[in-house]
């Protein structure tokens, strides 16, 4: 669906077992496995929160606005 999905982390904040990563995510929506088209590129601000316990990730949350890719999906629908 988004073969060139990417994440860019601009800032990381850590305190004990919790790390917060601030940045942006994006890519190109490719409906039905077709060809990539620049008009279907999207990006959105995002925040990732990881909580570590016993040296393992025990909680992973992603906060982002999914509207940019939803708009591309609506435009691609027949």
| Res 67: pLDDT | 92
Q: 24 lies in which domain range?
A: 6-76
Model pTM?
Answer: 0.80
Q: Please answer whether residues 25 and 59 qualify as being in contact, where contact means their C-beta atoms are separated by less than 8 angstroms.
A: no
Q: Please answer whether residues 19 and 12 qualify as being in contact, where contact means their C-beta atoms are separated by less than 8 angstroms.
A: yes
| Res 78: pLDDT | 61
Structural domains counted in the chain:
1
| Res 25: pLDDT | 97
Q: Report which of 5, 3, 6, 65 is spatially closest to residue 30, judged by C-alpha positions.
A: 3
Domain membership flag for residue 31: yes
Residues of the chain with pLDDT under 50: none
CATH number at residue 59: 3.10.450.50
Mean pLDDT (the chain, rounded): 93
| Res 42: pLDDT | 94
């Amino acid at each position: 669906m988004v073969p060139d999905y990417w994440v860019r982390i601009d800032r990381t904040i850590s305190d004990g077992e919790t790390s917060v990563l601030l940045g942006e995510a994006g890519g190109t929506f490719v409906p039905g496995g077709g060809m990539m088209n620049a008009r279907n590129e999207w990006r959105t601000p995002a925040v990732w929160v990881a909580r570590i316990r016993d040296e393992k990730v025990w909680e992973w949350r992603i906060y982002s606005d999914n509207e940019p890719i939803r708009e591309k999906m609506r435009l691609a629908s027949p």
